[in-house]
């Protein structure tokens, strides 16, 4: 029953992406700064709110080529939901690295969903959706296959991002 609920929720998430405004910017009154909120894509990460972190972090990261080759061998038949905060130092570090790794082995962007939250880990108007994901820290990278959660990388990797990613997909 739990797996079916998660699967239905993920399908709703993916369908909801098309109905939502992408790369929305709002003022987070807790920190008095503009932040990305809701569904985002690469354009949002490379836009004015996050670009300083994304462009530099992306360019400066060199993933382990052997690990990336092993990631590539596992294919692309899974999806990843990233819940992040554009205001969050760990998101500023890890999300650009994630995309550098994904780009290195050709992981399709259409298999990645980015949800930006405020400092309270909320997405105003979509609290139920965020609650289903059980987010406590950001960034959280959630890996799914056929609607079933395979694993998570929460806040910072235990090893490196690519090694932790590999450990999750090796269990496919």
pLDDT digits (tens, 9 = 90+) for 61-94: 999 999 999 999 999 999 999 999 999 999 999 9
| All residues at 6 or more sequence positions from 11 whose CB lies less than 8 Å from its CB, including other chains | 147
Which tokens hold the place of 163? 């090694």
Which residues on adjacent β-strands are paired with residue 27? 34
CATH class belonging to 2-169? alpha beta
pLDDT of residue 20: 61
| Domain residue spans of the chain | 2-169
What is the pTM (predicted TM-score) of this model? Answer: 0.87
**Is residue 130 helix, strand or coil?**
helix
Helix segments in the chain, DSSP class H: 2-19, 42-45, 51-60, 65-73, 89-104, 127-133, 161-169
Q: Are 80 and 143 in contact (CB under 8 A)?
A: yes
- Give 127 or 114, the one with higher predicted confidence: 114
């Amino acid at each position: 029953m739990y797996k079916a609920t998660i699967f239905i929720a993920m399908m709703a998430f993916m369908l909801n992406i098309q109905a939502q405004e992408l790369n929305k910017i709002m003022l987070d009154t807790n920190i008095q700064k503009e932040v990305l909120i809701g569904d985002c894509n690469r354009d949002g990460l490379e836009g004015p709110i996050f670009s300083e972190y994304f462009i530099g972090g992306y360019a400066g990261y060199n993933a382990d080529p052997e690990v990336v080759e092993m990631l590539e061998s596992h294919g692309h038949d899974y999806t990843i939901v990233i819940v992040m905060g554009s205001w969050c130092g760990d998101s500023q570090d890890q999300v650009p690295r994630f995309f550098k790794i994904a780009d290195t082995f050709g992981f399709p962007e259409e298999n990645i969903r980015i949800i930006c939250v405020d400092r309270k880990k909320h997405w105003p108007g979509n609290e139920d959706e965020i609650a289903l994901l059980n987010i406590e820290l950001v960034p959280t990278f959630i890996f799914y296959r056929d609607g079933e959660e395979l694993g998570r990388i929460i806040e910072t990797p235990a090893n490196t991002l690519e090694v932790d990613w590999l450990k999750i997909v090796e269990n496919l």
